[in-house]
Amino acid sequence: MNDSPTITCCPLCGGEKREGKTTITVEPAYGQFVIRDVPAKVCELCGADWIDDAVADKIERLVEDARIKQSQMEVINLKAS
């Protein structure tokens, strides 16, 4: 756990982080999954993104589901799931 208060500056470039959406690509050994519409904090300047642990857990579960289905490539919309 990170106990620091909400950081509003990007540690990479000092730009401002804003609530936004990002696309995460997960590439396990067995395939490639693209997760779209992921809520994240996105740096206005360099575009770096940060996702919450809860969101990361959700993505992990989606990838696990895809693995069980033996799907090798999938584009998943996080909002719709």
Residues 13-32 that bind Zn ion (CB under 5 A): 13, 15
Strand partners, 18: 42
Amino acid code (one letter) for 46:
C
Buried b (16+ CB within 10 A) or exposed e, 12-31: eeebebeeeebebebeeeee
Number of residues lying near Zn ion (CB under 5 A):
8
| 10 lines the binding site for Zn ion (CB under 5 A) | yes
Shortest separation between residue 60's beta carbon and Zn ion, angstroms: 25
By CB under 5 A, name the binding residues for Zn ion: 10, 12-13, 15, 43, 45-46, 48
